[in-house]
Chains A and B, each alone.
Chain A
């Protein structure tokens, strides 16, 4: 039996400081992943008043099974590393609003962050570290049937498809990892890959190819997901011949990469062609006083150690900005 313990001891002595709508913070950090938590530590050590608004502590790191390339640890689980980050932040009396999602950000004499529960917080500068989340296919039926056979989290939902027929969209690492998890229990797994080959790492492809209950369709794409109450079939097009075939399946797992979480800054911050927030080498966006770091930005290579480093840089840039402006 495995236990994924990520709850800490409750802060009974050092009570958690709640964010206060009446306070004008020096810095508000939006996000909870490695970039956000590193920025938080840097801001607190600089002694600026800091607020942290986060949906979940750890961000994508909490969903990562193991980490073997974060310096100082040759092997650590994502959950454990996230806990260590969180503990390091909790050493400080930082104001926190957790379990909350930022829905809109406004820039003026003060910056305002509006949350999904209707509350709003004010700051002189912001650090946006909202990360990325699963990319949608954008085909008919996808939204209507999400949670009804359309799934984005194989580790969560694979057990519900035991003995069933499923499609996995995507031939990269996450697609093939999901296909392996599913092939162990599903009746049959069809992988739909846009490109003429799988792009997952060799070790994963080898493990996947050892299963006999799988089919891989190269240069194919999903056109439509069909079903009334639940997924009944998927229409798949051959990109070479243009032929469309219907595959009767009960589930479809979409593993085609990630999209930056920029809903709250759309129209305010400049994004690049991939929808990522454009930042310069000091984590500055096109708006003075608004900084960004981590996977949500245009910085290449989405890695935990890079996000953490960028978070540190964004915090130092924000602190410098506050000093200069006051």
Chain B
């Protein structure tokens, strides 16, 4: 079964013609794939087929333990974005970037490929100044129109500073994490396990909060 209908496939294909440098996707799953893992696998195969500048490598969370540890992947399904030189961008999607999140997925790919809007000077400087490890987790649901903005802002910070890792986490796929972090509305952002942001905030505010974490 095809994941995309013809209209969506064409729309995505059109956008991907603007892709700059090559982007390499890593997918962590397991041999006996869970339902959603299988769907994501198909989604990624189909997505990667829409552009010759998208690479896709699949790892087994159990068998490729060393790879999972290298990329600090502690749960699956996980999608990572690597740049053309296979450098880790810190951008991760835990769950299927469907529904509204297709937008943050495409934006992430575009930005990693080098096609991105310039940040304001203040924002760019603030991101550079972050000199500690920062881990941003953005909890979302696929039916939330406000969530992709929160995800993309976190991903952009990760892209601009190698000390920052930013995860999209589908609360529906990881209910135990939603309980752990007390997620009862989305988007909800957790920074370094201790700071919580409810709702989508402009990237400047997110950077400010991340810098203090």
Q: Interface with A: B51-59, B72-80, B128-136, B198-206, which one? A: B198-206
**Interface size class, chain A:** 35 or more
Q: Is B112 an interface residue (CB 8 A)?
A: no
Nearest residue (CB) in A for B198 is: A147
Known: A4-B102, A10-B110, A147-B199. Contact between A159 and B141, CB under 8 A? yes
In the bound assembly, the distance between CA atoms of A101 and B17 in angstroms comes to 32
1/0 contact trace for A139-162 toward B, CB 8 Å?
000000011111101011111110
Q: Tell me the A97-123 residues at the B interface (CB within 8 Å).
A: 99-101, 116-119
In the bound assembly, the distance between CA atoms of A149 and B3 in angstroms comes to 34
Determine if B115 and A12 form an interchain contact, defined as CB atoms under 8 angstroms apart: yes
Which residues of A lie under 8 Å from residue B146 when comparing CB positions?
153, 156
Determine if B117 and A16 form an interchain contact, defined as CB atoms under 8 angstroms apart: yes
Known: A4-B102, A159-B171. Contact between A9 and B17, CB under 8 A? yes
Determine if A146 and B185 form an interchain contact, defined as CB atoms under 8 angstroms apart: yes
Determine if B102 and A147 form an interchain contact, defined as CB atoms under 8 angstroms apart: no
Q: Is A251 an interface residue (CB 8 A)?
A: yes
Determine if B185 and A157 form an interchain contact, defined as CB atoms under 8 angstroms apart: yes
Determine if A151 and B185 form an interchain contact, defined as CB atoms under 8 angstroms apart: yes
In the bound assembly, the distance between CA atoms of A4 and B99 in angstroms comes to 5
**Interface size class, chain B:** 35 or more
Q: Is B82 an interface residue (CB 8 A)?
A: no
Q: Tell me the B8-46 residues at the A interface (CB within 8 Å).
A: 8, 11-12, 14-15, 17-18, 39, 43
Determine if B143 and A6 form an interchain contact, defined as CB atoms under 8 angstroms apart: no
Which residues of B lie under 8 Å from residue A147 when comparing CB positions?
184-185, 188, 198-199
Which residues of A lie under 8 Å from residue B149 when comparing CB positions?
56, 99
**Residue of A1, A3, A149 with most chain B CB atoms under a 10 A cut-off:** A3
Q: Is A230 an interface residue (CB 8 A)?
A: yes
Which residues of A lie under 8 Å from residue B185 when comparing CB positions?
146-148, 150-151, 153, 156-157, 160
Name 9 A/B residue pairs within 8 A (Cβ), A-sorted. Answer: A3-B8, A4-B103, A12-B18, A12-B115, A116-B202, A117-B202, A153-B144, A155-B145, A158-B143
**Chain A residues within CB distance 8 Å of chain B:** 1-10, 12, 16, 56, 62-63, 99-101, 116-119, 146-151, 153, 155-161, 229-231, 250-251
**Chain B residues within CB distance 8 Å of chain A:** 3-4, 8, 11-12, 14-15, 17-18, 39, 43, 96, 98-100, 102-103, 106-107, 110, 115-117, 120, 122, 141, 143-149, 171-172, 178, 182-186, 188, 198-199, 202-204
The 10 closest A-B pairs by CB, nearest first: A147-B198, A156-B144, A7-B103, A147-B185, A3-B102, A4-B100, A9-B15, A155-B143, A157-B185, A151-B185
